[in-house]
Structure 1
Amino acid sequence: MRAPASSTTLVGRESDLAALRDEFATASRGELRAVVIGGEAGIGKSRLLDEFLGEQEQSATVLLGRCVDLGDDGAPYAPFAAVLRRLIQTVGLERVLEAAGPGAGVLSALLPELADDSAVPPRTGAERLYELVTVLLERVSAERPVILAIEDLHWADRSTLELLRFIVRMAESGRLLVLLTYRSDEVPRGHVLRSWLPELERTRRVTRWELARLGDEQVAELVEELLGRVPDDGSLERVTELSEGVPFFVEELVGIDGLRSGDDLPETLRELVLARYERLSEPAQRLLRVLAAGGVCVTHELLAAVFDGTPDELDAAAREAVTANLLAADSTEYLFRHALVREAIHADLLPGERTRYHARYAEALEVSPQRSAVQLSAHWLAAHDVRRAFLASLEAMEEAKRSYAYATVAAMGDRVLELWDGVPDAEVLSGSDRVAVLAQTASALRNAGNNERALALVEAALAEADELPPSRRARLLRDKGQYLGNLNRPGSAQLLEQALATVPPGALPSGDPLRPHLMTELAAQRMLAGHFDAAIETARGAIAEAQESPARMRSIAHNILAASLVESGRIDEGFAEFEIAGTLAAGDAGATLRYLVNASDALNSVGRYAEAVRMAEEGVARARERGVERTSGIWLAANTAEPLIALGRYEQAAAMLRVALGFDDRTGVTAQLQRVRLWVWHGEPKRADDLLRRLRSPLRALAELEQQTRLALARASGEVAIALGDYDRAWLETRGIGAPPFCSLPGYDLPVLAVASRALAELAGAADPVRSVGVLAGGGAGSGPESGPESGRPAAAEAALTAAVLAEARRLESVLEPLRTWPTAAAWAPLIEAELTTSRAAVSPTADRTERYAGAAAAWEQAASAAEHPLAPAQLLPYALLRAARVAQLSGDRSRADRLVTQGRELAEAGGVAMLVRAADAIGAQPPARAAAAASAQGQPLTEREEQVLALIEQGLSNKQIGERLYISAKTASVHVSSILRKTGASSRTEAVYLASRPVT
């Protein structure tokens, strides 16, 4: 009597099964969950999955797909093709097409048999396909929970991995559980999963664990379950030793004649894996050898075409293999019960057998309805037919391109290039030259996200392009520029200029769009770099040369011209050009998106926040209708956050950003930067700072190319530093405003200038003048010009600080002057002036506080009034009121300070600005300023921060407690205390309180 293939009871995996049930329960409540299960070969991943899926079939739609071991030659999206077929069988084709929505035709990229005349235009992009599949799963799961299970992820093609990542990150609704398994021993260094899995885990939706080997007691339980009896001690000991706790090996060992005697057990794992195979008849073994050449699973139709026996012989051999627990079969295909068996049998093939069988598969696939050019290429290559492998690889490039499987396009392109020299008539067969294949492969690599290799290949193409027509060389230069831009490296504009010089006016046939296209891209590069005059000139040139070009190209050129005009201060002209761009974009989704993105950004820049939100939301709604909300519409969603923040609609801004955060490209980084600012205003500066530090590297690279990013990064960094009380850092982040490498974008300059002015005011009032001078000089503490021996004398240090603050205030005023004509300057300029007036007051030698801060108090009154302007961001008014309150405190006007704090706090609380609510509470907790506190042994006044510290000393607080109360370190508090002792001439903290309270004489 033979033992069963596997135990009917799941042994040793009870906790894993329970965890999967919990994950499914969570997903069933509408919260997407993903589980990634790893483990070595034979550890029981498939067995666990089978058990769980079998349990849930009555309550969920189970969609199972497998990745096939064909090296790097798996058909793109192979597991998703199986998943989609299963879904069609389950709910019907009509329901699938209905759930997919307007773009249902794109599903033909997964199942070619779905292609018909209603399909959308083919070049919609990979992410369009990803979104379509995600929407389909969401809508189907709304009716009944869906379990999407993909096995053997270590064999997945890159397109499958990218689609899975998109689903896990971007699905927003529905009831979906994603289950993924992979063999951890098949993921060596350099394997794509090495980086893919940690990226996936960054979302909290993912749980990942590894299956452990069975313990001795679990092995004994499994053996007893398989045998139906208790084994003898010798056999059990031998099984435990040989299997090492791997369930598959336990099952194989027990399967050898029901473990009648431990003496017959094999000595090696290879012998163990092949033990059942070697007991089969020759026809059954031959069938398994043929099957192994086709992969882990092969359809009956394909196997019948490859097998050289009669149908009856095939059935008999297959039945024998199934009975021996080597194969499993369903209604359409044969499947090796374990990949280890297939691998062992395939490795055992003789060279002649291997060549013959792969050739048979290739010949059968040539005429099969399931024809896959990618698999054809692999089989012809394994059969050593270079010419046919070359042709199949060329076909596979086009096939994969239609499916947006760009990594596969690139892999097949690499194969074509490898085989090129071995095919005498390669150019005739391909219809192109080697440079064209290099360019196509580079483009595919770029689309697959591998810009480094794309750059290397396009450089190789340029090295071989000397004899090519100028137009082709110009296109290669353009491509190189794009790849450099994707890598956030400089040089794109120069390459575009070189490309234009290669094809001067009149060099191309009439109607060729290459020159206007190059000019439009160059204008965009110049616009992003902040060179608006050059961008305007180039965009106008593109428009002039694009009269015969499609409306889409002309729309983009007008769009870039419009944005450049607005940023250069010619606002009315710019918005007139936006109107033209929008009209020309009608009917073209890509051009319309670009128009809406740039126009909404321009509206936000000039302070028309509500209009910016309406325009962006309109675009998001249209994207949602077309089913591209999470791809094409993502830029609009991210763009909408900034004006929403300005309007004080923080929760709505966070909701808009949520989807964009799933991206790793510029969109995601930009969205994360907006998220930093949201967390600051929500009163979570530490959390914002942690995120900012993680983003610093990609943001700096992007800022090298884009002025808007440079300024946005400076603003966010400065706001985080201010919220943390780190004024040194706030200054260092923003002090460069108005000087290279910053270029002027007034709508972005003003907020950065405001942060820099606030930092200057705080440094002016800091306890350590030497440190402040060093920071203002551009270094750190003690790095300024006054940090030599003379700086040890308090008077010299104070004089140096006064000179530095006044100089910087004048410089920032000069930066502000040309910005005054910008619309939003009506709100920002008075606030900046108030900060600068406060910085001057802090270093004023005047002892009387009321007199000293009179100008600052008046300036803040004007700033608060200006903050009520319609173009002012919502948080500006409570901020101005609270800064005015602090100045009133410093001047000794406690009643006015209390009134202003109350007003500011009420507005901040009503607007949900937690950071300002806390600031109001901190100001309100300060005791009244001492009218005589300016007196000291040296005649030096205490700074604003020193006044705060002195008040807390009077309450008996330690340095650590002072630091906690003022959100500074204990070390910084100690510096302030030392300065107070020095200025008052006191020898103790108690004496300092007494001396500072004496009237001035």
Structure 2
Amino acid sequence: MTTSMSSPAMVGRQADLAWLEGLLEEARNGAPRTVVLGGEAGIGKTRLLREFTAGLGADVRVLAGQSVDLGEVAAPYAPVKAALRSLVAEIGPESMLEAVGPGRAAVVALLPELAASEAGGTPPQPSGAAAAGQLHEAIAVLLENVSRDRPTVFAIEDLHWIDVASLALLRFLMRALTSSRVLILLTYRTEDIGRGHPVRGFLSEIERDRWVERRELSRLTRAQVRKLARLLVAGAPADRAVEVPTDQIVDSIYRRSEGVPFFIEELIGIDGCREAGMPDTLRDLLLARYERLSEGAQHLLRVISTGGVRISHGLLEAVYPGSSDELDAAAREAVIAGVLTVDGDDYAFRHALVREAILADLLPGERGRFHARYAEAYEALSATGTRRLAAEISFHWLGAHDAERAFPATIQAMREARASAAYATAAQLGERALGLWEVVHEPERAAGMDKIELMGRTSWYLRNAGEAERALALLKAALVECPDGDLQVPRLLRDQALTLSSLARHGSVELLEQALERLDGRDDPVARELRAAVLVSLAGRLMLTGERRLAIEVSRRAFDLAVQPDVDAIRSASIAKNIESVSRSVDGEIDEAIAGLEQARELSEGDGAAMLRYWVNASDLHYLAGSHEHAVRLAEEGLARARAQGLERSTGVLLASNAVDPLIALGQWERADELIERGLALDPAAPFTVYLLRARLRSQLWRGRVEEALAGFRVARPIMTPVAEYERQARFSVGRVAAELALEAGDLAGAWAECAPLFDEPPLEPGHALPFAWVAARVLSTTARAQRSSPDPIEGDGEGDGVVDRARRLLEAFEAVAHWPTTRLWRAFLDAELADVWAAAGQAASGTAAAAAEASASRVALWRAARAEADDSRAPIFLAPYAAFRLGEAELAAGDRLAARAGLQAAFDLAETTGVGLVRLHAERVARAAGLAVGAAGDRSDGGVAAVRDDAGAEASADPALDELTARERQVLDLIAEGLSNRQIGDRLFISGKTASVHVSAILRKLGASTRTEAAVRAGALR
């Protein structure tokens, strides 16, 4: 119903359309994709989207929503609600809720009109990050389920007006919809996302995602402008005589429109192809159609522009001051003129730019009156209880400059945003209400709370929205304003401590202690409940910082207080018992700790947060004690519950990492990979991300993907460091994998530096310390062997800090935690590694052949013992092939080549069977250097000695001189080129220095070289 000049066909966008159709085909085949279309106003984003969706068959479902322009604080989830309501209209509320699954409560909170369809009433919704996570997960599950029936296009237009909550949801969906047939399609206006706009950061972030495609639409060329102009002329109404555009007219249109399709349509639609009278400015162009309308139609458009780009007929009737007949007549005139379009029951501006131009042309008085009418109309709609419209009411009363009526609407909008887990929007509205506090009469009565409580709530919203810095600043301001003896002071101090913890900063313990001091002398139930909560938070902090004895004492105090009859603090009681149990386990009281955790589980029944805390700590304790399969079961139970509660992105990620560690220990690499990649795709907070990144690096390393692990560590280190500095457990986890990677890279000094947490105070947590001590022993073993073959000794980091001194310190640290169930296993590996250190020290002291032989025999015996211990069910899967490899190495150094070949072959076979690629690589390297055949050549019956071809051995060299060298001489020549001495060559190839000297002499003779340097240079030239 329009006579506006609009081309019957798109021009210049065929490639873009084909691109979208190709991406939809990928999504149809189970590879979900996200498309982000950008471009300046009028470039054709909406037209392209409409052409794309119009061409889809009935087998594709389209769910579309458009962001609403409500200034700086947009209505929470407005475009998402519009898209979901279209799905409700299509499949019905019952089917909708069935498809959502466990997250029904979150979706009902978002769309209250679904409550009537929720059998048995609406279940309780979690709070904090749990609510937001549950909503995100629920919508992801919904889209996954409906896309199984039909491929689904989830389109959100005008991203530049989107609210922060919807943006966070989109970020989640883009990573979480990995097993769906969904194409997410987003559009935005490029000129409206300046510096500081949240969408700018969003776009920068998603560029790293391989499943995201981003494209900006370009302006039309002159040839395309000509084609579009002719199509517009051909499609002009019969009552309009429009001439075919001449080259002069095309040039004029091209110059004035700059190739923007909307402006081309406006220029031809307004003045046909006459150059005379064409508008000179953009404002004139946008208002040209509007200014040709009657006053009644212009008045209607001014009213509509105040309400937004799109407005329903029912709402327009409520705000329009004239009669229904006058409204219909004015609307018809605007539609015929091509300013408005009709879409179902809605009126919409043909382009947002026209609406913005009309809005800017409003007089101050009429702007205020129109806003007041909208506010009153929305209040009337809200009173029916079917829609949450407080954000719109607040916006329009502010536009009407009525603070007294805007303030309560803002408070209500804040509560509504909180109810739908839109914490960023709730925080913005809370800050708006704080800004109005001083200009409103009796704000406490209108808000239902005092200013300090509002500041505390707003800070909580900020923290849950990821704005911890702003939350901290607001809490500090609240503490300044709060009366010293008020009960809110300790609550604010506790909140400040929790906020600091979320930022991985120190100082939370001191703040919690201050909160307890402020509670001294208060014995009412509310104060005791708060004291119990503060004590639990303090005990948790103390446990994480390693002060376990104090953590036990504080958690017991919290438990005794929480179980008092008049204190409603069962969650605090469960978590207190949990913390006490985990802290007791550090002293070796494993059975007592497990019993205490089971008591915590019984107390936590019915409390999701406490139950998840049980699963986190119980799965971790069983893993550290070596019960890997039980640890996996517990972690996966907890992960399933976390998903059901919508907490997969937070606690769920922690539980995923708790499952990944024992899965790696069991050699179930693929299952571990799935959990790691799923967890990282959820874009969790840094403290949760660290554990997954660390697990992925360890998995890559032990599977032999060393370069990939090293590159990944360089990227991950900046994320890991702040968390490791704050959390002791993270410091151990990160330090251990960092030391292993540095060791593989040959950076022995760096590897030892990464072992520093082993010597920290207070005493170590044994479950983490024992395997870390083994890594440190590997560093010392490699260092001792390197010193033996190096002319320049590797120095320690200070006087008295040589390799032997370091080994003694390491043993002392190990003995301090030698009460753990896996001590015997790790002690066997520690002794075997350190044998190289003691042997190097003994040889340096005596220098006799007998001492060397005795040391070699000792190393073989120790590695046999370690290999036997590696068969323990508590041993990680990679220890058996590693011990077999080191045993073969020790036998080779002892001169038993037959046993060495068998040992290295066993290591190779074990590594192949278990997927421990790192050991396979090392076994192949050592065997190749020693001239032994393992792996594919392991079935040769040559007594264990085989010629090993290097890369040049596959075919004859270009120079006969190199062809005369044996495989062993080629190896020696490579080491000569590295500058190694005969002794160093012997150590590298497991031969004596004298034998190395014989090979060097043969090489010089065959190459006709008089010096080692000449031989190296000559060999390089020949190659």
Please give the TM-score of this superposition, normalised by the length of structure 1.
Answer: 0.90
**Using the alignment, how far apart are the partners of 1:357 and 1:875 within structure 2?**
72
Alignment of 1:570-969 (within 5 A): 570-623=589-642, 633-661=652-680, 662-665=682-685, 666-734=687-755, 736-740=756-760, 743-766=763-786, 773-774=794-795, 776-777=796-797, 804-842=802-840, 844-845=843-844, 846=847, 848=849, 850-927=853-930, 955-956=969-970
Structure 1 residues 845-854 or 97-106, which shifts more? 845-854
Tell me the secondary structure at the aligned position of residue 478 of structure 1.
helix
**Using the alignment, how far apart are the partners of 2:748 and 2:661 within structure 1?**
24
Deviations 1:474-530 (A, max 9, x none): 000001001100111001111101101110264444784111111111000001111
Displacement of 1:991: 4.6
Mark the CA change 1:178 to 1:806 in structure 2 (over 3 Å): closer, same or farther: same
Displacement of 1:720: 1.9
Query: Which residue is 2:239 aligned to?
Result: none
**Using the alignment, how far apart are the partners of 1:374 and 1:365 within structure 2?**
10
**Using the alignment, how far apart are the partners of 1:241 and 1:719 within structure 2?**
64
8 Å contact from structure 1 (residues 67, 151) kept in 2: yes
Tell me the secondary structure at the aligned position of residue 309 of structure 1.
coil
Mark the CA change 1:928 to 1:466 in structure 2 (over 3 Å): closer, same or farther: same
Displacement of 1:819: 2.7
**Using the alignment, how far apart are the partners of 1:247 and 1:422 within structure 2?**
47
Displacement of 1:918: 1.4
Mark the CA change 1:190 to 1:622 in structure 2 (over 3 Å): closer, same or farther: closer
8 Å contact from structure 1 (residues 2, 255) kept in 2: no
Query: Which residue is 2:49 aligned to?
Result: 49
Structure 1 residues 168-177 or 182-191, which shifts more? 168-177
8 Å contact from structure 1 (residues 885, 900) kept in 2: yes
Tell me the secondary structure at the aligned position of residue 633 of structure 1.
helix
8 Å contact from structure 2 (residues 69, 308) kept in 1: yes
Partner AA of 1:206 in structure 2: V
Q: Does 1:102 align with 2:125?
A: no
Tell me the secondary structure at the aligned position of residue 63 of structure 1.
strand
Tell me the secondary structure at the aligned position of residue 72 of structure 1.
coil
Query: Which residue is 1:401 aligned to?
Result: 418
Query: Which residue is 1:113 aligned to?
Result: 113
Query: Which residue is 1:462 aligned to?
Result: 479
Selected match of 1:174 from 180, 187, 191: 180
**Using the alignment, how far apart are the partners of 1:3 and 1:351 within structure 2?**
32
**Using the alignment, how far apart are the partners of 1:90 and 1:976 within structure 2?**
80
Tell me the secondary structure at the aligned position of residue 568 of structure 1.
coil
**Using the alignment, how far apart are the partners of 1:158 and 1:976 within structure 2?**
65
**Using the alignment, how far apart are the partners of 2:24 and 2:533 within structure 1?**
51
Selected match of 2:378 from 365, 390, 400: 365
8 Å contact from structure 1 (residues 559, 581) kept in 2: yes
8 Å contact from structure 1 (residues 493, 526) kept in 2: yes
Tell me the secondary structure at the aligned position of residue 59 of structure 1.
coil
8 Å contact from structure 1 (residues 679, 688) kept in 2: yes
Displacement of 1:722: 2.7
Partner AA of 1:732 in structure 2: A
Selected match of 1:530 from 527, 546, 556: 546
Displacement of 1:628: 5.7
**Using the alignment, how far apart are the partners of 1:805 and 1:242 within structure 2?**
78
**Using the alignment, how far apart are the partners of 2:693 and 2:97 within structure 1?**
35
Displacement of 1:552: 2.3
Displacement of 1:170: 1.2
Mark the CA change 1:423 to 1:628 in structure 2 (over 3 Å): closer, same or farther: closer
Partner AA of 2:202 in structure 1: W
Q: Does 1:274 align with 2:272?
A: no
Partner AA of 2:406 in structure 1: A
8 Å contact from structure 1 (residues 838, 853) kept in 2: no
8 Å contact from structure 2 (residues 317, 324) kept in 1: yes
Deviations 1:37-88 (A, max 9, x none): 1111111111111111111252311001000111123210000111111001
**Using the alignment, how far apart are the partners of 1:6 and 1:824 within structure 2?**
76
**Using the alignment, how far apart are the partners of 1:287 and 1:987 within structure 2?**
100
Q: Aligned residue pairs: how many?
A: 941
Query: Which residue is 2:9 aligned to?
Result: 9
8 Å contact from structure 2 (residues 303, 320) kept in 1: yes
**Using the alignment, how far apart are the partners of 1:663 and 1:772 within structure 2?**
46
Tell me the secondary structure at the aligned position of residue 224 of structure 1.
helix
8 Å contact from structure 2 (residues 2, 335) kept in 1: no
Q: Does 1:500 align with 2:520?
A: no
Query: Which residue is 2:399 aligned to?
Result: 382
Deviations 1:798-843 (A, max 9, x none): xx9xx81211111111112223221112211111111111233245
Partner AA of 2:198 in structure 1: V
Alignment of 1:277-288 (within 5 A): 277-288=290-301
**Using the alignment, how far apart are the partners of 1:385 and 1:498 within structure 2?**
42
8 Å contact from structure 1 (residues 276, 324) kept in 2: yes
8 Å contact from structure 1 (residues 44, 247) kept in 2: yes
Tell me the secondary structure at the aligned position of residue 214 of structure 1.
coil
Mark the CA change 1:468 to 1:251 in structure 2 (over 3 Å): closer, same or farther: farther
**Using the alignment, how far apart are the partners of 1:772 and 1:40 within structure 2?**
65
Deviations 1:900-952 (A, max 9, x none): 111111111111111222122112212269xxxxxxxxxxxxxxxxxxxxx99
Q: Does 1:190 align with 2:188?
A: no
**Using the alignment, how far apart are the partners of 2:802 and 2:222 within structure 1?**
76
Mark the CA change 1:625 to 1:381 in structure 2 (over 3 Å): closer, same or farther: closer
Please give the root-mean-square deviation of Cα atoms over the aligned residues, in Å.
2.8
Q: Does 1:239 align with 2:253?
A: yes
Mark the CA change 1:524 to 1:632 in structure 2 (over 3 Å): closer, same or farther: closer
Mark the CA change 1:151 to 1:2 in structure 2 (over 3 Å): closer, same or farther: closer
Structure 1 residues 137-146 or 820-829, which shifts more? 820-829
Deviations 1:758-804 (A, max 9, x none): 11111122268586533x31xxxxxx66xxxxxxxxxxxxxx9xx81
Query: Which residue is 2:940 aligned to?
Result: none
Tell me the secondary structure at the aligned position of residue 188 of structure 1.
coil
Q: Does 1:990 align with 2:997?
A: no
Selected match of 2:267 from 253, 264, 270: 253
Unaligned runs of 5+ in 1: 778-783, 786-799, 930-950, 964-969
Selected match of 2:562 from 530, 546, 557: 546
Selected match of 1:122 from 117, 122, 125: 125
Unaligned runs of 5+ in 2: 235-242, 933-964, 1006-1010, 1013-1023
Query: Which residue is 1:947 aligned to?
Result: none
Tell me the secondary structure at the aligned position of residue 820 of structure 1.
coil
Deviations 1:737-778 (A, max 9, x none): 43226750111111211111111111122268586533x31x
Displacement of 1:230: 4.3
**Using the alignment, how far apart are the partners of 1:332 and 1:468 within structure 2?**
58
Partner AA of 1:708 in structure 2: Q
Displacement of 1:216: 1.4
Displacement of 1:102: 3.4
Task: Give the share of equivalent positions with the same residue, in percent.
Answer: 43
**Using the alignment, how far apart are the partners of 2:99 and 2:2 within structure 1?**
48
Structure 1 residues 158-167 or 249-258, which shifts more? 249-258
Partner AA of 2:220 in structure 1: L
Query: Which residue is 2:939 aligned to?
Result: none
**Using the alignment, how far apart are the partners of 1:725 and 1:364 within structure 2?**
73
**Using the alignment, how far apart are the partners of 2:893 and 2:200 within structure 1?**
58
**Using the alignment, how far apart are the partners of 2:442 and 2:182 within structure 1?**
51
Tell me the secondary structure at the aligned position of residue 808 of structure 1.
helix
Tell me the secondary structure at the aligned position of residue 925 of structure 1.
helix
Displacement of 1:333: 1.5
**Using the alignment, how far apart are the partners of 1:987 and 1:917 within structure 2?**
30
8 Å contact from structure 1 (residues 710, 742) kept in 2: no
Q: Does 1:341 align with 2:360?
A: no
**Using the alignment, how far apart are the partners of 1:160 and 1:717 within structure 2?**
38
Displacement of 1:532: 0.7
Query: Which residue is 2:960 aligned to?
Result: none
8 Å contact from structure 1 (residues 73, 375) kept in 2: no
